[in-house]
Every structure is written in C-alpha cells, then in structure tokens.
Amino acid sequence: MSNIKQINIPDLGDVEEVEVIEVCVKVGQTVGSEDSIMILETDKAAMEIPASVDGEVKNILINVGDMVKHDMPFVEIEISENSNEGIKNQDINNEPEIKTETKKEIIEDYAHDELSISKPLIPDLGDVEEVEVIEVCVKVGQTVGSEDSIMILETDKAAMEIPASVDGEVKNILINVGDMVKQGMPFVEIETITKVNTKETKASETIVQETLNTIADTKKKIPEKTRQNSQPINYKNTSIHSGPATRKLAREFGINLLEVKGSGPRGRILKEDLHAFVSQRLNDKTSQVGFQHSQPDIDFSKWGNISFEKLSKFQKTASKNLHTSWINIPHVTQHDDADITGLLALRADLNKENKTKVSPLAYIIKATVETLKLFPLMNTSLNKDLDTVVIKDYFNIGIAVDTPEGLIVPNIKDADKKSILNISNDVMSLAKLAKERKLKVEQLKGATFTISSLSGIGGKYFTPIINPPEVAILGLSKPFENLSLENKEIVNKKLLPISLSYDHRVINGAYAAKFVTELSNQLNQLEFLKESFNES
C-alpha cells in the first residue's frame, strides 16, 4: 500500500518569508530523502530544502517566485506505507497476498466499466525542438473532453493549445508553467472509463491481475538500503546535485545546470565544473553568434518620476532576432517610387466586377513573385558555413503582421501557383490567425522572401531589417499623389514608396537596383494582373 505525504517548510530561523528561486524536481520524479526539492533565497544566502522522505513526487505546491514561510506545505510525495521504518521488521521478499474478499470487491466494482489511465503525448511541433509552457488550463480532479485544452505552448512567434485528446478526469498534471517540452513527452494523466464488451469474468481477471502487478511494482520500488542495509540507495533520480554557492554562481553566469556535467560525488556539480563549462563555451567558435547586447545602467529617476513595464516574450524574442540580424548581415537599402495609378484603377474595376474587396497587397505579392523569378538571388539563403548560396525553386512569401504582441511573420506557401484572389484570402486568414495567436508552426516556417507593409499607416521610406535566413525584404510605405509631366501635360499619379533591404554578401547594388526597377514594371503589367486575378 502507499500513501501521500505532504512535506512542509522547515523552520527558517529569524526570516519570516523567503522567495523560491528554483524548483529542482518534476511531478513523477523519484526522490530520496536527501534530494533537494527547491531552493530558497534570502538577502544573504540560499538554502536547499530536501524531500525528507523517499518516494515519488505527486504534486508540487509552489512555483518559482513564490514567497513561502515556516510550516507551509510545498510538495506531496507518495511513499510506501512500509518503505522506511515499518518494513524493517517484515519479510519483504514475501509477495503480499490479495484476500478473497478484496478480489470479490474489485470484480463487483469493475466488471462492467473499465477504468484506465491515459497519458496523451506532446504532438509534432514542426521544426521547433522545444517549446515553453505558458499556461496550464486545467486542475487535478477536473473533468475534460477530448477537445478541451490542457495547456498552451508558445514558440518565439506563436502560441498553440494542446487538447486532452481523450474524455475523462484529470488525475495528474506532468508539466508546469515555464517548463520546456518536446514532441513525444507525456504531459497529463487522464482517467478514462471504457465500457467492457467481453464477458464479466474476463474483465474481472484482467483487473485482478493489474492489481497484482501494481503490488509487485510497489515491492520493486522499496529502497535497496531497506532490503540490504549494506548497500546504498539506488534511485533513478534526475535531480541536479549542487550546493547553494554553485547554483548562485550559475545564475550569475546565466548557465543552465542541466547542461553541466558534474565531477563531484554522485555527479554533484562543483564551482570548478562551471568554470570549465564557461571556458569550453568561450573557446568553442561554433557557439559564438556575434556581439552581445549591452545597455548602460542609468538611474533615470534622478530626473523625474518613472515606472517599469516588462517586455513580453514576443518583444524580447524580436529584440534578440533583430539585433542578431543587424550585427551579422551587412544591410543595404534601395529606395524607389513605383507608379501604381493603373493598378489601383484595375483593382477598383475587378472589385466591382467580382463583388469583392481585394487589397493592393495581393497584387503586389503577385508582381513580386514574378520579379523574383527574374532575379533568383533574391529568393535564396546562405548556408551555415557562409560559403554556398542555397537557390530555392519555390516562392513562400512572408507577410509581416502587426499584433498587440508585436510583429509576426507567417508566410503564403507556393504563392507563384495561386491567383490574386487566393493570395488575398490567405493574407486575411493569416493576419486573423496571427492576431488571435492561433498560427501553426508550419505557417511560420519556410519563407523565402518577406514583405513588410506600412502603407495603411503612413510614412515615406524606411529600412526594413532582413528576416534570416532570407537575404532580402521589401518594405512598402503609404502611397502618395504626385504631379508630373507626360507629353507636355500635367498628370496626377499615385506613387508607392518601396524600400528593398538586401544582404550585401549575396546581392550587389546593381542587382538590387535592377530588381526594384523590374518590380515597378511588373506592377504595371495590367493585362497579366487581370488574368491572374481569378486564374484556376
């Protein structure tokens, strides 16, 4: 038999409340009595709080950042009723016997319905290897349907809901907010009820056997030191072993202790291991990705009142990506004005004729793809060694979408094979999904060229930053009216400011200027654009 023991915070001395700075275990992990469950930190020191019993972690009652005090419960551990003191006086090699009455009760309870525990797994995440859990949507004991969301994951550019996939009652949640998860990992245990169609006797025999197996498994989990006092405990424990001083140094260095191999007893991580880890990283050229962010530490309150607002995950990711792009890619930007007078007139006619509302962007995307066909270097990428250009025979056009969380860039797959009307529908659909944070991973990967449009806002020319691993990006500003002479007559034209940023390692200035000139030409191929509006 087993029971759940709730472990409380020990006496903290003169300190009333202490902050949790690290949780060292996960639900489902087997721990020994000396293994650390969490680390607390006061103003002057850090302290590890051990499990104090042997068993399996069933529930973690605290989170990083919580303030805890003496006698607060912080973890629930399932321990064997006979695992420690009581078992010493018993013959543990004798298998427990299930009494006849117990077997009868099991048969009566479960002859018609079969209870089972289902462990849904993290589905395919596309090109992303690990994703952060940003929200857990259920609690233990809650009844869920197969379509109900269990948690929400967030990549650098999108959030995705992970459903239960089965109907039943949540018995155990295997993840926490902030965890990094990957494909194939179990994330929840759900108790499901299955109607048994076979004979009652067969169902009963199965359940009795399962109960016997459970007891046998419990026996196997009895600590080795209890069976043989001369041998140490042999737990399969994945917790990190290191002292408070070492952990503090790791935080100062920004080191993930999971990546460090300990050289101390039982794999304990020492300060020397951290120094060796840093030295190895500094000497590993493949791990260096350009300059690091730096910002002066200034006390702005000296000049007046200030307040603070944390950057969102999207904003921090965007900052890192833009900084990396800017310092690693030699940007050059080519500006021009494209005459779209005829295009806007054609658009008005086609919208009226087809009783629809297609934005100019769809026409521009179609014209851009035709231009990319004539200038294939704009549709390439550099390989990781920076010595080969990867030429792509497909055209996936990224569109920068402004959302409350920041810019997100989904892409239209195979834009060269789609009509202007279909491209317009894709633009609206992707923009809607982006603003609702419902984009799928595959909709964010694989772009070959990006268009960033400010034409609905204002301004005239800007320098868009390239979205690696692409080598160019097209910026669109707000069209403006311009008077010019044609055949000695003053005409009013509608001009579109365009700004092409390109990677000078791949593309030279003459090539970029010719691309921009050809794009202006393609925007005036009105017959082609008309035929492409609703082509099958």
DSSP per residue over 282-344, as a string?
HH-GGG--SPPP------GGGGS-----PPPHHHHHHHHHHHHHHHHS-EEEEEEEEE-HHHH
What letter would DSSP give residue 242? B
% of the chain exceeding 70 in pLDDT: 79
Q: What is the DSSP letter of 83?
A: S
Q: What phi and psi values does residue 425 have, to the nearest 5 degrees?
A: -65, -40
Tell me the percentage of the chain whose pLDDT exceeds 90.
Answer: 42
Residue whose C-alpha is closest to residue 381's, from 368, 364, 366, 398: 398
Q: Six-digit token pair at 288? A: 């260096």
Q: What are the tens digits of pLDDT across the range 253-300?
A: 778 888 888 887 667 788 888 888 887 876 665 555 444 556 778 889
What's the pTM value of the predicted model, to 2 decimals? 0.52
- 495 versus 252: which is more confidently predicted? 495
Q: Give the model's pLDDT for residue 96.
A: 39
Tell me which residues are annotated as active site: 504
Q: What average pLDDT does the structure give for the chain?
A: 81
Buried b / exposed e along 439-465 (16+ C-beta atoms within 10 A): bebebbeebbbbbbbbbeeeeeebebb
C-alpha to C-alpha distance for 383 and 387, rounded to whole angstroms: 7
Q: Please state the length of the chain.
A: 536
Non-local CB neighbours of 27 within 8 Å, separated by 6+ positions: 57, 58, 59, 60, 172, 173, 174, 175, 176
Q: For 139-146, what is the mean pLDDT?
A: 90
Q: What pLDDT score does 298 carry?
A: 87
Domains of the chain, each with CATH number or no CATH: 2-92 (2.40.50.100), 100-227 (2.40.50.100), 240-286 (4.10.320.10), 324-532 (3.30.559.10)
CA 103 to chain centre: 47
Q: pLDDT grade, residue 109 (50/70/90)? A: very low
C-alpha 379/C-alpha 474 separation (Å) is 12
pLDDT above 50: residue 228: no
CB of 410 closer than 8 Å to CB of 429: no
Instruction: DSSP letter for 370, please.
Output: H
More confident residue, 371 or 385: 371
Identify the pLDDT of residue 204.
Answer: 43
Contact status, residue 246 vs residue 260, Cβ threshold 8 Å? no
Give me the phi and psi of 172, to 5 degrees please: -160, 135
User: What local confidence, expressed as pLDDT, does residue 128 receive?
Assistant: 77
